[in-house]
Each structure stands twice: as structure tokens, then as C-alpha cells.
A and B are shown apart, each in its own frame.
Chain A
Amino acid sequence: MAHFTKATSVKDWFDQRLAIDKVEKVMMSEYWIPKNINFLWAMGMVLVVTFTLLLVSGIFLLMYYQPNVATAFDSVNYTIMREVDFGWLWRHVHGVAASVVFLIIYIHMFTGIYYGSYKKGREMIWISGMLLFVAFSAEAFSGYMLPWGQMSYWAGMVITNLFAGGSLHADGLVEWIRGDYVPAQAFLNRFFMLHVLLIPLAIMGLIGLHFAALRIPHVNNQDGEEIDFDAESKKYLAGDKAGSKVMRFANDFMAKDMMVVGIYLIFFFYLVFFHYDFAMDPVNFDPADGLKTPAHIYPEWYFLWSYEILRPFSTNIGLIAFAFAQVIFVLLPFLDRSPNTTPASRRGLFKIWFWAMLVDMIVLTAMGKLPPEGIFSTIGLVAALTFIGLWIVLPFITKMEKKA
């Protein structure tokens, strides 16, 4: 057993038992961050804040939400929106945060791609990040079922149908997932459980993994510079704060994180109070009706690009393309064959690849919402093929890249 002495202060009492000084150093004051990073590196903190908003608003909603096909719709739209004090506020915070969190996730992902932050020791950061993306997608989808509106019902129908696997006709699997032939009470109940318990737990665990994965390789920087963290941090601790290439996470970089969070929250609350419509589809304000198919069924904006990869093809090929799109980003660290951890701007063909991928995904997103007719379905098909093509050429163009 360790040796304990009479505590000299409350802090000392805890320190002897929990090593809080050490923990504080490891996680905050001696967690070294390069100085040459820009505000895009604050997106992780913005994500933590947004997830906290989701969690807190979700807990409040949970006090009045009723997971029952007969009462779910009115428990949200009447009880929460009209009866409960500030229920509307929690709901709008929750809905807007669920949408904006994906905007930030995409910015965060493309930042990683641009600066090559998935390479050389940072693979686990990337992989845990992609798992978070999958978990958030499942969380958003399950949450979308809960108000039991027209889009909840029909998106639930269409997405669970994908599991039939086209000509595999795995209808048994679809029924197993739904707990019924069609989305009904059993379906709502299990998605409720997933949404408020299992997936949030998984998300919290994955956030822990993501952070742990960051600790050893440290965050990347905007110049692709290899930094000797030991030497630079000694310099800092010796008092040469200005000369050192690194800074403390807290308070140094955290001050900047908070600045970005502050500006982000202005944007966020502007959306919550004055522009929430984009995050709450009007069609979902009609109660679920299994006999009335909506004129247009489309997922929330953040799923549109992968939906559009599914749509222009025949069922089987579409499903294969869709499955490809779902997993391919995870493999990025292995498909990029170049050893260079430098910004895309200095990587020749990869620079073109990066911007082409970004634009292509925006095109896919737009086409995924539009009705698949005429020119839109042609553009959608070309964009889907481009997406696949870009991934196929990636290993080749990165292989050719010269060592920087």
C-alpha cells in the first residue's frame, strides 16, 4: 500500500488519493500543443460543446417525451412545445444542435484530410473519429424516429429496408431490426432505447478513445512540421514562452478554443431562435401515417451525399456503392500511400484530389435532396461515379508523390 501522510490541505488530501496534480498536468497544463495551428483546430472543442448541448437538452426533453406511437407526436409537439415552460427552447436547441454538429464534424474531417492528420501515428485518431461519425449518424437517425412524424416513419421505413440487401431479400433481417413487419410500437421503443441510452454511451466511450488517441502523437500543425515536443516543452517551462514552438493546452490553447466557441455560439443561438427551420423538416410536423407516402422522401441534409451514392444505380449496385461510401473514409490512412504529412496545398495531385472530393460531396448532397429527374439524376450519377473514381485513384496518385 502507498504511503499516506496527514493532508496539509483539501487539495493535498485529494492529490494523495487521486493524483490530481499529475492528471491536471497530463491533460491540461503539460499537454503540449504546437503554436502553428489555426482556428480549425478548435473544432474539436466546438464539437464537445455541441455534444454537451445535445446531452443537456436531450435530458430535459426526456422528462416529457413518451415513446408510444399513439402519444409520441403530441408529447413533443403539444406537451413539450406548448405546455412545458421553455420546452420549445430545449427542443429547438436539440434539433439545431443535431444538425449543426454534422456541419462541424464535416469541417473537422476535412481539416484532418487537408493537413494529413491521419498519418504516421495518428491513424487511431482518424479511426476513432470515424467511429464517432458512425455513432453520431446512428444517434441522429434514431432521434429522428422519436417525434413519430411522417418523415420519422417513412425515413425509418426506407432506411431499414436497405438491410434487405437488394436481391438477397433478407426480409427476415429487416423484420428483426423493426421488431415488426412495418415500423410500429416495437420499432419506436427500440430506437428510443438506442437514442437515449446505448448510442450516447457508445459516443461517450468513443470520445474518450479519440482523446486518448491524441495524447501520444499530439495534434498535427498547419505547416507539416515535425516538432520535438520534449525539447520545445522544456524551453517553454524554462521561461522562453515566446521562443518555444509549443504551448500548454490549458490555458494557452484553451483560451483560443473558448474564443472560437464564443463566436460559434453566437451563430448557434442565432439559428436556434431565428432560423431553426432548416433543422426541423416541415414534413415531420405531420403525424406518421402508414397509408400516406409523402411526395418526397429524403434524409436530413448530412446523410444526403451517401443517399445519393445509393440512388442513381440499380438496387444491388446502389447498395454496394452505398456500403463502399460508408466505410471508405475509415480506410483513408491506408489508401493514402504518401509518407508526407503536409498540407494538401503542397502535395501536388492530392491538392486537386482534396478539392475535387469536397466539391463532389457538396454536389452529391444537393442532388440527394432534389427529385431524381432529368438533369439532376444525370449530375447525381456523374457525381457518384466521381466519388468512387476518386477513391480508386487515391493510392496511385499518392504513391507517385515525391518525398517532401
Chain B
Amino acid sequence: MKQNKEPLILAIVVFFTIVTYYLVEPFAHSQMHKHVESEGFEYKDLPELTKKGDATRGKDLVMGAGGCTGCHAITKAGMPAPMDAVTAAASYGVNPPDLSNAGSVYSAKFLASLIKNPAHALMVEHKFDASKGQMHPMVPFYGAGGDMDQEVADMVAYLESIAPKGEELTPAMAYETACGRCHANHYEKWTQIGTKPTFKKKQDGLAFDTKVLDYQDSLKAYMGKLPPDLSIYIRSRGEHYIKTFVENPQNYLKGTAMPRVGVNAEAADKVIEYLEDSGDTKRHEREAVGMNVMIYIIIFAIFAILWKKQVWRDLH
């Protein structure tokens, strides 16, 4: 009998397949797309919080001299929004987010920087240059008469004290606070002004849609373009891109209007989970079914090999 060449042939086929795959996938993508490493949402360019905050004093500032509730709702503390989302967007360009969850969504040092200088923390100074009279719609906090760093730390401590802890912060809460005012997600029925309810009367549905359109007009004027619907961005951009983009949008799109949102690492994971729920909903089912199918197919292959052996016994 001649020497069996099949292992060598198989090795050649596999080799060329892998080379081709490597060239058109990992290699081509490494050449086409800029690779940005995550910094772990540490915001190294922003100063650390040096003072230890006091939540009780912080509450008074947030509700009073800090002026936050003049623009923001804090429903958790019984503070409703000063105006509805559409009106707010007409005045500020965008609806200032409800601060109930801010303490656990945003990084503490980011919040402190944001309160003092929003345009800087949000990395939108290219759009809002105070020296040219371009004011960011969120007014900076200029101090309430005491030690400003202490006051800011107090407000951050207060926001953290009312915010949900750990698992209490759901993926939807993280998304709605951090991204929801700009990005719709129609697979989850999320619009920039909230989750779209199911209406009994058609008129009510149309009235709601009209409000969304009005809101989007203001947002478009403010941002220069309508921020995209993120329903299946998890498939078009992938987790790594979204995370590093959120960490610093300027990394990828120089001069973009999307602010650095300032979420902390845990909240970023929650946002990703939300995007996976909307755009890769069946991932758990896929993994479970995948394991079962693999086991079944391996058994099939074993039987096929045994059958071949049996049939071919007489052929040699």
C-alpha cells in the first residue's frame, strides 16, 4: 500500500485557509482601524478629589446655592424636572439628565470637574469657548462662599449617597442617565424623551411622536446632527470600540460634538449590557444551543467515521 497523503493534504488546506483568514480579518482590520487601548475609565487628565465630602451639606448645596435643581430633576429626592423634556431641549439644546443615579453612573472625579467646568470635563471646549462668549448650557459652579473644592466634594458625596448601589443600578438606568438624552434605541422602545408607552388612542401616539420630533430638532441644532440610534451598535461597532469611544470620543472622531460622558467602569459595563440586550438579545440562548449542537454533531461525526471504517473494511 502506498503512503497515505491525506494528513499532508489536510495540513496544506488548513494552512492556506488560516493564512487567508488571518490576512482578510485580523490583519486587514488592524490596518484599517485605529486601535485605542482603554484607560479603564480613570480620566487621568482630570484632578483627583482631594477633599472628603459631606452628603448632608452637599444636599443643601445641590438643592440650593449649587443651583443644580434649577435645571435638573432629582426624582429620587422628590425634585421634579423644572420643565418638560421638549421645553428643556428648546432652551438648552438637550434635556439635562435626572441626577438620581448620577452618583453611581459617573466617576466621582469627573463629576467634580464637571461641576466646576462642564465644557472642559465633557471635552467640548472646541465648541464652547468661554473666551469667545460661547457658553456651555450647563452653568459652571462658581462657589457658594466657602472652600470651593470642599463644596464640590460635598455635592458629589450627596449625589453618591442617593444613587443606587451595585446591582441596584440596572443596565437601562445606566443607559438612560448617561446616553438616553441624546441616543434613541428603538429596539428597546427608548426615545430621547423616555420609553414610548403603548397608547390606546392613535392621536396620543402621534402626539408623542410629535414631541420626539420636536425634541430631536432642538438636539440636532445643538449637536450639529442627530446622534444615532444605538439599537444594534453592539454589532456594528463592538464592545471594545464603544467603550473606548465613550471614554474619549475625540480618540476616534476629532472635533465630534459627542461629549466625553464620564461614566465609571462599572456603569460602562452596564451600558454595554444594555446595548447587548437590545442588539444581541439571544446571546445566552446562542451559547447554550451552541454547546448542545456541538455535542450532537460530534456524536454524528463519530458514527460517520465508524460507518466508513465498516464499509471500507472489505475494500482493501
Contacts and interface: CB of A to CB of B under 8 A. Distances in A.
The answer to whether A binds B is yes
Interface of A: 35, 38-40, 77-78, 81-82, 86, 88-89, 92, 103, 107, 222, 241-242, 247, 251-252, 255-256, 258-259, 261-263, 265-266, 269-270, 272-274, 278, 280, 282-286, 295-296, 301, 304, 358, 362, 365-366, 369-371, 376
B31 A370 contact: yes
A252 B312 contact: yes
Interface stretch (B105-113, B117-125, B260-268, B301-309): B301-309
Given A40-B13, A78-B187, 18 more contacts: A38-B6, A39-B9, A78-B231, A89-B286, A256-B312, A262-B304, A262-B305, A265-B300, A266-B298, A273-B290, A278-B21, A278-B25, A285-B232, A285-B235, A358-B16, A362-B19, A366-B24, A369-B24
A285 B308 contact: no
B170 to A, nearest CB: 19
B9 A77 contact: no
A286 to B, nearest CB: 5
Nearest to A376: B31
B236 A286 contact: yes
B294 A269 contact: yes
Contact of A262 (B6, B17, B300): B300
Contacts of A301: 20, 24
A101 B298 CA distance: 21
A258 B304 contact: yes
B16 A256 contact: no
A283 B236 contact: yes
Interface of B: 5-6, 9-10, 13, 16-17, 19-21, 23-25, 27-28, 31-32, 187, 231-233, 235-238, 279, 281-282, 285-287, 289-290, 293-294, 297-298, 300-305, 307-308, 310-312, 314-316
Given A38-B6, A256-B312, A366-B24, A261 B304 contact: yes
18 contacts: A81-B282, A82-B187, A82-B282, A88-B286, A92-B286, A258-B304, A259-B307, A262-B304, A269-B297, A273-B290, A278-B25, A282-B236, A304-B24, A362-B20, A366-B20, A366-B23, A366-B27, A376-B31
Contacts of A252: 311-312, 315
Contacts of A247: 315
A319 to B, nearest CB: 24
A247 B316 CA distance: 11
A92 B290 CA distance: 12
A247 B6 CA distance: 19
A366 B16 CA distance: 12
